[in-house]
Structures are given as C-alpha cells and as structure tokens.
Amino acid sequence: MSARTGSFVPRPGSAPMAQMVLAQARMESRLILRNGEQLLLAVVIPVIVLVGGVEGAKHVDLGLGGHRPVDVLAPGVLALAVMSTAFASLAIATGFERRYGVLKRLGTSPLPRTGLLAGKVGALLLVEVLQVVVIGAVALALGWRPSYSPAAVGSAVLFLLVGTAAFAGLGLLLAGTLRAEATLAAANLVYLLLLAAGAVVLPSSSYGDFGEVARWLPSGALGDGMRDAALSGVLDLRSLLTLAVWAVVGGALTGRTFRWE
C-alpha cells in the first residue's frame, strides 16, 4: 500500500517455488485420498495382504526362514504400499490427467513442470506417511516387533525414499508414453505380477531359483531391503544400489519420453 496516497499498489508475480510445490502436493494428496480406487490400492489392499498373509502362514509354509510371519510380512507390505502408490496409483492418475488435458493446462500455470512433478512426488510422500501409520498400527496389533535402532529406522526411511523415486519414475514412464486405457491395463498388470512373483511381500529366498532374478527387480530390492532393516537393522547395500539404478534409469527415460499431451 502506498503511504502517500493510501491506495494499494499491485505487485504481480507468482508465489515462491516452495510454496507452489507444497500447495500442489496438498492438492494431489487430497485427490488421491478422495478417490476410492486409489485409496483401495494405497491402504485397503496392503492391509488385506498383511492380515491374510499372517493368517495363511498358520496353515501354509511360506518359507520365512524361521522368523515369525508378521515380522517378515509387515516390512514387505510396507514395500507393497509404496509400489501401490508410487507406481500404480501415480501411473493411472497421471495417464488420465494427460488424456483430459489437465497436465497441458497445469503446464501453462505459474507452476513450472518441474514443480508439478515435485508436487506429485511430495503428494506420494504425504500419502506414504499415512500408509506407514495405518499399516504399522495393524502390524503392531498383530504382534510385529521390528528393530527400533537408529540404523534400522534410517535404513527403512532410505529404502522408502529411494523406492518411491524408482517406482514413481517407472509409473510416469508408463503414463507419459501410453494412452490412458493402456496405462490403466499395463499398470495393473505389472502391479499384479510384481505382487505375485516380485518378492515384494515374501523374501526372494521363498522363490527358489527364481529368487535370484526377483532380487534384481525394484519390487524385490525394496522388499528385501525393508525386511533386512526391520529384522536386523542391516542396510542391504546391494538392494539399495539396485533400487538406485532403477530410479536413475526410470527418471532418465521419463525425462526423454514423457509427453504432456
């Protein structure tokens, strides 16, 4: 406001970058949590897998190496939750946003495209915090007793962050190159295949000879890394490096091939 005239003087311009990204992340996270299908992928399916796996282990030998079922399955289900949100949900939502021109319109806003992507990743992290709280509470109620050492917690957080980057890159790769319907089909198919044979919920050692292949998949690397962190507080460097490679490759391919419309 001008002190001499007592009138307001316009100051056109965009908000600070961090403020815009945070606002975008809040909006994206609300959209995820309000969508029934995405909420199913984010929370309901992982909780069902956890409870069903613990109950099923009472009747079937899952090859858990003598560990209590809940201690092995809980960190694997947390890895599954990351895969659900950062890969399947992100790919499907972004694919349809691209189809209906939402991304094209957002690209003309003061928020730059890098800020838009940062907002999407921020929304994933916000949703994942909710997933960890809900799934962790269910697992604790089932008797889960993870390692709480600083090394264990730090390793788990590191794997969650790198795993989010890896799966987000792969999800955006699908969404940015395929039609929306093809993205929907491909994301769900890959999700189901990795859930069944990707060593995400069960350790790679449970898959026999195929386990050596599964360990190199992003699902197997994230699952094994989370289990090592929760069971013994060990940082699995091989799995972390595998995830990092997937994150770099997925991000590079997305940057080269992503089409906004």
Q: Tens digit of pLDDT for each residue in 200-228?
A: 999 988 888 898 999 999 999 999 999 99
Q: For the chain, which residues make up each domain, given as ranges?
A: 17-257
- Which residue carries 């994230």 as its tokens? 222
Average confidence score pLDDT of the chain = 86
Q: What is the pLDDT of residue 10?
A: 60
- The per-residue pLDDT for range 171-183, each reduced to its tens digit, is 999 998 999 899 9
More confident residue, 134 or 108: 134
User: Half-sphere exposure (CA, 13 Å, Cβ side) for 62?
Assistant: 21
What's phi and psi for 233, nearest 5 deg?
A: 70, 20
Q: What is the pLDDT of residue 115?
A: 75
Q: Does residue 14 register a pLDDT over 70?
A: no
Q: Which range has the top average pLDDT, 26-35, 60-69, 211-220? A: 211-220
Q: What is the pLDDT of residue 61?
A: 76
Q: What is the pLDDT of residue 27?
A: 81
Q: What is the pLDDT of residue 113?
A: 67
CA–CA separation, 204 and 221 (whole Å): 9
Q: What is the pLDDT of residue 2?
A: 47
Q: Taking residues 34-56, what's their average pLDDT?
A: 84
Per-residue pLDDT band at 9 (split at 50, 70, 90):
low
Q: What is the pLDDT of residue 54?
A: 92
- Which residue carries 């080269």 as its tokens? 256
Q: What is the pLDDT of residue 64?
A: 78
- Which residue carries 């507080």 as its tokens? 233
- The per-residue pLDDT for range 69-102, each reduced to its tens digit, is 999 999 999 999 999 999 998 999 888 888 877 7
Q: What percent of the chain has pLDDT over 90?
A: 53
Considering the entire predicted model, what is its pTM? 0.88
Q: What is the pLDDT of residue 6?
A: 58
